[in-house]
A and B are shown apart, each in its own frame.
Chain A
Amino acid sequence: MKTSTERQKNIIDFALSSLLRRKGKNAGLLFIYTLIVFALASVVFFTHAIKEEASIILKGAPEMTVQKTVAGRHDLIPINYIDRIQKIRGVISVKGRLWGYYYDPIVGANYTLVVPETPDPGIGNIIIGEGISRTRLAFEGDSIEFRTYDGKIIDLKIKKILSPESEIISSDLLMISEADFRRLFGTRENYAVDLTLKVRNPRELSTIARKISEILPDTRVILRDEILRTYDSVFNWRGGILIIILAGALLSFVIFAWDKASGPSLDERREIGILKAIGWETSDIILMKFWEGMAISLTSFCSGIIFAYIHIFFTDAFLFEPVLKGWSVLYPHFKLVPFMDASQISTLFFLSVVPYTVATIIPSWRAATVDPDSVMR
């Protein structure tokens, strides 16, 4: 029984035999191609997962943050600004925030210190993130020495370590009591680092922000919306390392395509002539070339995607560590939640499989339309 499926399978058989004849070259091609898809897919999965997670988690960020700026620099904000802002219609509450950075010279890491409303760690105690514990090799019950603004040393005891699941927000976090914070940094009592607001109607945020800038011209307002938008575009595709990876990938494809587009070799052309002479139509030959291209590109695509998924969601994107870590000493373990959507996969498909397959077919077209007569000679 003759079927179209059988025809496809027969032609695939020959296409694969064709590829296997140049094992070394095609194995190399397959490897590099898979690597490129793997790199691209890893980046796509990683950035998408972070953005999605940010969009969910950071919805809990303060609706509005008010910073004071002096000579263009972020400065401490007087607590009495609270009363002035509280008077604005629509503002439910205004609270001061105490937070900052501490550079630990022992390990060379930066910690983010935060004074929480609850839970209060208590004077002399701290609650630390998993990243600090890991970097400092410090555990519950241990003490960490801190050097205050005036050169004194204070010991703070680790009361608790935050869960590893929350590393994406708490890896470098150090929760400290208000008294210890002010002792450490010398922050005066009537100052906070910035203020956070709660409003009655979120649609009035812009209006309230405008009013704040009117009554307090030396302040700067950041809205939750802006925070969320920051993370929507967090990884800069227009510059930096990501563009280098993308450029590298595109360049590789251009090289593949150029190699293919320079036309089939003499051997390949002769072979096409033989196939025509023994009864293959032009369409059969094009189909064979199509499957030759697809065999490499589909295999690479499938393998690349699957390895990328495993890399990002089962091994915490460990290959990205050297790139992402930069100069950081404290580096969070990215246990990302897989947020997948079909558009990512289809984009990668169209960027990788289609160009290569087209680049395989088109140069062979001309050769495939040759008169088989030339083979007789």
Chain B
Amino acid sequence: MRKSSLFLSFISISLALFLLMFIHASLRKKAEMRSLIQKYETVKQLRLTDLCLFTEASYTRHLSQADLHTAFKDHPASLEHFPSGSLLAPPPMIKRMNENID
């Protein structure tokens, strides 16, 4: 088989796989919708506020509940020492003390 034919076949197969990826994603999403709704209901029922991503520290486990002090609660000069802290952005609202009053 010609090299160019092999290469173009590979690209065609890849593009077909890309399409398959999107189809798979779409089908999985539909299939998981029930599960997503169930998780939503669980969150509502238990009044949860965060995903369980990083269980190292309180402020990595409950990102949205963290305030300006939680990272330093051990000691005023305590630096970030949890590895997942380097992955996570602080919640955007902690720069404000309260919602929309200043």
Contacts and interface: CB of A to CB of B under 8 A. Distances in A.
Interface of A: 8-10, 12-13, 16-17, 20, 50, 53-54, 56-62, 65, 67, 69, 72-74, 95, 97, 101, 109-110, 112, 114, 116-118, 129, 131, 165-173, 175, 196, 205-206, 209-210, 213, 220-223, 226-227, 229-231, 233-236, 238-242, 295, 298-299, 302-303, 305-306, 309, 313, 323-324, 326-332, 337-340, 342, 345
Interface in B5-46: 5, 7-8, 10-11, 14-15, 17-18, 21-22, 24-25, 28-29, 32, 35-36, 38-46
Contact of B39 (A57, A210, A233): A57
B55 A213 contact: no
Interface string B46-67: 1111111111111001111101
A173 B5 CA distance: 55
The 6 closest A-B pairs by CB, nearest first: A240-B86, A326-B83, A60-B44, A302-B14, A338-B25, A60-B43
Nearest to B21: A309
Contact of B69 (A60, A73, A326): A73
A337 B92 contact: no
B75 interface: no
Interface of B: 2-5, 7-8, 10-11, 14-15, 17-18, 21-22, 24-25, 28-29, 32, 35-36, 38-58, 61-65, 67-70, 73, 82-89, 91-93, 97-101
Which of A65, A69, A170, A209: most chain B Cβ within 10 A?
A170
A230 B63 contact: yes
Given A59-B40, A60-B44, A220-B98, 20 more contacts: A12-B7, A13-B4, A16-B7, A56-B40, A58-B43, A65-B49, A69-B67, A74-B70, A165-B35, A166-B39, A168-B53, A205-B99, A209-B99, A210-B100, A226-B64, A227-B64, A234-B53, A299-B10, A302-B11, A326-B56
Q: Mostly helix, strand, loop or mixed at chain B's interface?
A: helix
Contacts, number: 242
A221 B38 CA distance: 27
A10 B55 contact: no
A233 B94 CA distance: 13
